[in-house]
Structure 1
Amino acid sequence: MSRPNVIIILADDLGFSDIGPFGGEIDTPSLQRLADRGIRMSSYYVTPRCSPSRAALLTGHHPHSVGIGVLTTDNRPTGYPGSLTTTVPTLAERLSEQGYTTGLFGKWHLASEFVTPSETWPTRRGFDEFRGILPGASSFYQPPLVSGEERLPKEALGEEFHFTDDISEHGADFVRRHAATGDPFFLFLTYTAPHWPLHARDEEIAKYRERFADGWDAIRSERLRRLQSDGLIPTVDHLPPGVILPDWSDVDGREWQTERMAVYAAQVEALDRGVGRVLDALADAGVEDDTLVLFMSDNGGCAEELPPGISIFGELTCPTKTRTGEPVVVGNIPDVMPGPENTYQSYGREWATVSNTPFRMWKRWVHEGGISTPFIASWPSGGIPTGSAISHSIGHVIDIVPSVLEAAGSSSDTEGESLLQLWRDPAASSGNRTLFWEHIGNAAVRRGRWKLVREWGGSWELYDIEADRIESDDLSGSRPDVVAELAAAYDEWARSHGVIPWQDVLDDYESRGVPAAHAVG
């Protein structure tokens, strides 16, 4: 079998049930098309944050051991470097060695230096082409765009510019150019959608205002029904602990709340439209069947509220003025409707809870809502069945490198396991493997049916995750033997992977006179 082309599509802060193939009501026909030509995984895990997931995806190793313990702040010598280590090859470097042409379009967020080119920029980590941003977020209308290693002036963006469309356009062009050569290529599409800020064109927002007018509880109930009907999750007849959605009829500012989700949905649809452009380019070139396409998010939906006037991001991430010189109004202000370039808002905890239906918690946490992502794999000529089959086996973001390298006919020495056979046989079992997570003090272990999870400052909780995926029945009191076994395994993993105890991180910030709140990134 010839080596496949490889495309990895990474959404940013997309929740488990936001897209059509995973129960969502947002129009995502392109992702449905991809699912119909492949398989979906119902238990695929990432890390709970942007940079760590990217580090794990590109190296096949847990993020702490490759330089990314939190985000990209350089806290050396006492803390994490905040940049992807150069001692471990990236997937792009490995594929380049095998004759692949490589391109990255979108977000990098794996370097502590955003302005001056360094050894940690994508062009020096195996990518032949790069067009995108270095930091973790930006305005969709005027991002700090870099082409290769050259910063592009804002004047070059054009009046109709939108970052999601730009990523899609250049990704599709990359496919057209390199499919014509007959040589294999690796395309990494790293969208910033639907990460805040809420930025979309009014005509794209309008169709969703009525769709979300009934509020979050009604939308969540419908998503839950579709997830269960499709067989993606078992029957759930109650809410997880801590999931409290205010009665929609009692909510003040319902028009603003509806608009927040309508803009978010428009951002997701714009991403899907871009995926369609790339899939069309594959089909037009006659290489659709011969391309391994993977889709996922970097973490669960984001519950972060942006307070008015927030200024910690800096001009690269949050411009103070629009391209025409109008002031940007920053923060979730109910009398300012999100969407236009002169706003900078997020969609909040309630809608993030909907995005993560049916799970607990959100981005940053290691309960299921923070680390579960929709996942689709398609490669018809490589033995992955078409017809939108579902695999209930466990997968993890560290598995991407070994999976892709096996598909390309190469071996891997990473911490992950190849999922290729599970994709080819959705009924196969992933066995009793053990997975670990840590982020800003939140910690978890999953081994087989058991999941041990702890929020920073709290006690260990234990769940039978196969019977109780929503983590509603804490069994730590009745199974202290399992708690002790998994806690010991976690401690050993943390020691061996360079996980810095979170209290030590906070103490380090305090000793340097930096507010501890900045430690989370």
Structure 2
Amino acid sequence: MSVRPPNLLVILADDMGYSDIGCFGAEIRTPALDDLAGRGVRFTQMYNCARCCPSRAALLLGVYPHRAGVGAMVGDQGHPGYRGFIRPDLPTLAERLRAVGYATWMSGKWHCGGDYAVHRPEQWQRAGDATHPLPTQRGFERFYGTLGGAGSYFDPRTLMDQDRFVMPAELPADYYLTDELGHRAAAFIAEAAAARQPFFGYLAFTAPHWPLHAREADIAPWRGAYREGWDALRRRRLQRLVSEGLLPPDQALSERDPQAPAWENKEHQDWEAERMAVYAAQVAAMDRAIGTAIAALRQHRLFDDTLVVFLSDNGGCAEYLREDGEIGRWPEMYNLPTKTGTRCVVGNNPTRRPGPAETFMSYDLPWANASNTPFRKFKAWTHEGGISTPFIACWPHGLPAAAVRHAPAHLIDLAATACALAGAPRQELDGGDLSPVLRGEQPEVTRPEPLCWEHFGHAAIRGGDWKLVRAGQQQPWELYNIATDRIEQRDRAAERPDLVARLAADWQRWADRCGVLPLPITPCRPDRKPGGAGGEKRSEGGVRAADA
């Protein structure tokens, strides 16, 4: 095993469920990721922070989202845990590694540096101010990617090359964001190789987040593949997860979500199957782009000495894009002209075919239920379907091959792990070092407190095999033994009130430490005391799709 500090490449998928890649049970062909899994270590109980921007902030700062300043979304509520941009007084992982000699670059989605309305470019001029920090201001020497949370794959808004905005009209006719992110990552790897400098690269895809945008050539192989529907897909994926040794042989499947109809009762089945085909194409395109980056590592003889990790920022997304506008806001944001001048038509309309640049759809709750096989719930929930992610770590000169670990781990552990391997300072980090577990030297991650979550009232705490979780601030706590009931089907709260009380108290101590606020969060300006009028009460079921 090598003792030389490795290069680090962190690859983050966007809104991708637990079973959406081949080496985690999917029928979707992902050869690049499957190869990394075969040469590395998979974790079966890796967790994220339930949503895009909190996960990204937590990953980069190595602390829980509220401590990172992004406890909710990227709007500035004035409170320390809810400013909507990563804290300036805590170093990012890029800053920590750069201080010990690493080159640093990012290719992809930022989404932890303040809010950006994609349809109002005049507001983008805030980029780089105190409340809208750019990657190049937070430790990344090279940057190519988007600042906002979602948008077109063919005509992306808030796209930046270093510190300059790139407008859709400047892009070539065949532009596709996922592919370009892979090519930029490969170029940044080549730069680091030429400089003979260790590097930290952050490849943060927008795929497969809505909208359903993919090239026809990528969709064609999947056309018709999902005609059997989501019920059959969930069963097949569970079988593969079990056969891969990722879940126990007796693992049951959670019940179909109550809001998902049985496939045989669903109208527009051809259109539904086409939506999932486009989603599969997006995942496959992401894998192709990952392959581009990995090929660059091999070309420059860096692969064996690079720790490559892959995970998703949250579970599969159940958000439904309505034509008439969810509260009338986001269709205005995304009904934008394409490069050809045609305006994008927003909404999940079965009379339109998903995929082209002039459409703007999501794959919806039933398919998200399948993405999160075998778990229940979705992005924004703190049940297993919202916070469980596939995780791969590959470092040929430092880790075993074809290994599986069942220890609980969390996205916040990545910064602590990287700093431990690179010899960088680890002060103020909430996560633990994964490397002893990755190497098989110890069974569990050493951490000072149980893992905890909170997002818009959804909350959870994982203490050993037990998990306490609630589906909203006003909802009761549910208690599950994850060792025997990972799919959260048997609530044990009534049987163990003592354990509920203890875990709830532990969660509250964590919430107080991290600055978690109860709903509704009343916005305040930094120069005014909190508690004034004007707060907007949000649904405990998560925020609307416009904020995703």
Q: Give the alignment's TM-score, normalised by structure 1.
A: 0.95
1:448 lines up with 2:448 in the alignment: no
Verify the 8 A CA contact 2:65 2:71 in the aligned structure 1. yes
Deviations 1:221-266 (A, max 9, x none): 0000011111211222343474564232221101110011000000
Q: CA deviation at 1:390?
A: 0.5
Summarize the Cα distance change of 1:186–1:77 in structure 2 as closer, same or farther, 3 Å threshold. Answer: closer
Match of 2:439 among 424, 437, 442: 424
1:376 lines up with 2:392 in the alignment: yes
Deviations 1:29-58 (A, max 9, x none): 000011111000000000100011111111
Gaps of at least 5 residues in structure 2 are 117-123, 525-529
Counterpart residue type for residue 106 of structure 1? G
Deviations 1:369-424 (A, max 9, x none): 00000000011112x101x2100011101101110111112341211100011111
Counterpart for residue 64 of structure 1: 66
SS where residue 12 of structure 2 aligns? Answer: strand
Counterpart for residue 487 of structure 1: 504
1:269 lines up with 2:284 in the alignment: yes
Counterpart for residue 199 of structure 2: 185
Where does 1:34-53 land on structure 2 (aligned, <5 Å)? 34-53=36-55
Q: CA deviation at 1:321?
A: 1.6
Counterpart for residue 88 of structure 2: 86
Verify the 8 A CA contact 1:199 1:263 in the aligned structure 2. yes
Verify the 8 A CA contact 1:431 1:448 in the aligned structure 2. no
SS where residue 200 of structure 2 aligns? Answer: strand
Verify the 8 A CA contact 2:50 2:313 in the aligned structure 1. yes
SS where residue 136 of structure 1 aligns? Answer: coil
Verify the 8 A CA contact 1:389 1:426 in the aligned structure 2. no
Match of 1:496 among 504, 507, 513: 513
SS where residue 327 of structure 1 aligns? Answer: coil
Deviations 1:413-465 (A, max 9, x none): 21110001111118723368611000000000000010000011210000001
Q: Which moved more, 1:106-115 or 1:491-500?
A: 106-115
**CA distance in structure 1 between the partners assigned to 2:210 and 2:373 by the alignment:** 19
Counterpart residue type for residue 298 of structure 1? D
Match of 1:112 among 111, 114, 122: 114
**CA distance in structure 2 between the partners assigned to 1:353 and 1:108 by the alignment:** 27
**CA distance in structure 2 between the partners assigned to 1:111 and 1:128 by the alignment:** 16
Q: Give the alignment's TM-score, normalised by structure 2.
A: 0.91
**CA distance in structure 1 between the partners assigned to 2:513 and 2:37 by the alignment:** 38
Verify the 8 A CA contact 2:76 2:114 in the aligned structure 1. yes
Deviations 1:276-333 (A, max 9, x none): 1111111111111100100000000000000004362487x62522111112110111
Counterpart residue type for residue 348 of structure 2? N
Verify the 8 A CA contact 1:39 1:423 in the aligned structure 2. yes
**CA distance in structure 1 between the partners assigned to 2:295 and 2:195 by the alignment:** 18
What stretches of structure 1 move > 6 A for 4+ residues in a row?
506-510
Aligned length: 518
SS where residue 303 of structure 2 aligns? Answer: coil
Summarize the Cα distance change of 1:254–1:89 in structure 2 as closer, same or farther, 3 Å threshold. Answer: same
SS where residue 493 of structure 1 aligns? Answer: helix
Summarize the Cα distance change of 1:121–1:112 in structure 2 as closer, same or farther, 3 Å threshold. Answer: same
Summarize the Cα distance change of 1:409–1:243 in structure 2 as closer, same or farther, 3 Å threshold. Answer: farther
Verify the 8 A CA contact 1:390 1:426 in the aligned structure 2. no
Q: CA deviation at 1:111?
A: 1.4
Counterpart for residue 100 of structure 2: 98
Deviations 1:149-186 (A, max 9, x none): 21112222110001101101100111122123221011
Deviations 1:191-236 (A, max 9, x none): 0000000000112111112211111111110000011111211222
1:211 lines up with 2:225 in the alignment: yes
**CA distance in structure 1 between the partners assigned to 2:190 and 2:80 by the alignment:** 46
Gaps of at least 5 residues in structure 1 are none
Counterpart residue type for residue 99 of structure 1? G
Q: CA deviation at 1:513?
A: 7.0
Counterpart residue type for residue 162 of structure 2? G
Summarize the Cα distance change of 1:333–1:431 in structure 2 as closer, same or farther, 3 Å threshold. Answer: same
Counterpart for residue 119 of structure 2: none
Match of 2:366 among 346, 350, 365: 350
1:136 lines up with 2:149 in the alignment: yes
Verify the 8 A CA contact 2:108 2:206 in the aligned structure 1. yes
**CA distance in structure 1 between the partners assigned to 2:147 and 2:42 by the alignment:** 30
Q: Which moved more, 1:350-359 or 1:75-84?
A: 75-84
Q: CA deviation at 1:505?
A: 4.6
**CA distance in structure 2 between the partners assigned to 1:509 and 1:42 by the alignment:** 42
Verify the 8 A CA contact 1:509 1:519 in the aligned structure 2. no
Where does 1:93-492 land on structure 2 (aligned, <5 Å)? 93-114=95-116, 115=124, 116=126, 117-119=128-130, 120-144=133-157, 145-234=159-248, 235-240=250-255, 242=257, 245-310=260-325, 312-313=329-330, 318-382=334-398, 384-386=399-401, 388-413=402-427, 414-425=429-440, 428-430=443-445, 434-456=450-472, 457-492=474-509
Counterpart for residue 120 of structure 2: none
Q: CA deviation at 1:336?
A: 1.0
Deviations 1:73-106 (A, max 9, x none): 0112597211111010000000110111111111
Root-mean-square deviation over aligned CA pairs = 2.1
Verify the 8 A CA contact 1:217 1:245 in the aligned structure 2. no
SS where residue 502 of structure 1 aligns? Answer: coil
Q: CA deviation at 1:118?
A: 2.3
Q: CA deviation at 1:2?
A: 2.3
Verify the 8 A CA contact 1:141 1:161 in the aligned structure 2. yes
Counterpart residue type for residue 497 of structure 1? C
Verify the 8 A CA contact 1:39 1:426 in the aligned structure 2. no
Counterpart residue type for residue 60 of structure 2? L
Counterpart for residue 527 of structure 2: none
Counterpart residue type for residue 151 of structure 2? S
